[in-house]
């Protein structure tokens, strides 16, 4: 029986579907939503913004808030509660580093809406990397 599930979320519909899947299929499990900020991009915008802040953790929490608000609204629809965690840096690495604390990871098939080639070039396919390297089972939701 799965009791601890990690759901990495970004601003994509795919990550929202992953959370819905976890809530529907694991009603007794504790679900933790992880949002990672400072994701590498062409202009390094979010990462640079964090570097310029006096308190990186507070700035990261502020950037994660819209994702968590959407996650809490979804959990409310299922009459469930969520834990939330903010990570800083590379998404796949953050997920893999935390994986041992969970029974499984439920992740969306694709992240942000970049072209497939651009996403692979810049950050790789996060779901693919997690599925290959995580020490726990990974469910990829389309």
pLDDT digits (tens, 9 = 90+) for 5-27: 999 999 889 999 999 999 999 99
Res 64 pLDDT > 90: yes
Q: How far is CA 80 from CA 35, 93, 130, in A?
A: 19, 28, 26
Q: How far is residue 98's CA from residue 121's CA, in Å, rounded to a whole number?
A: 24
Q: What average pLDDT does the segment 95-116 reach?
A: 83
Domain 13-141: assigned CATH number: 3.40.50.620
Q: What average pLDDT does the segment 24-51 reach?
A: 75
Q: What average pLDDT does the segment 91-100 reach?
A: 96
pLDDT at residue 55 in the model: 72
């Amino acid at each position: 029986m799965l009791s601890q599930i990690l759901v990495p979320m970004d601003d994509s519909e795919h990550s929202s579907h992953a959370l819905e899947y976890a809530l529907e299929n694991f009603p007794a499990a504790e679900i933790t939503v992880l949002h990672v900020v400072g994701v590498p991009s062409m202009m390094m915008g979010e990462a640079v913004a964090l570097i310029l802040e006096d308190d990186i953790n507070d700035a990261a929490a502020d950037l994660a808030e819209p994702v968590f608000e959407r996650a809490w609204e979804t959990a409310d629809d299922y009459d469930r509660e969520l834990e939330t965690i903010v990570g800083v840096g590379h998404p796949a690495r953050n997920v893999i580093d935390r994986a041992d604390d969970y029974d499984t990871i439920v992740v969306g098939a694709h992240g942000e809406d970049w072209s497939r080639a651009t996403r692979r070039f810049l950050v790789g396919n996060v779901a693919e990397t997690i599925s290959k390297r995580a020490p726990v089972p990974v469910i990829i939701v389309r």
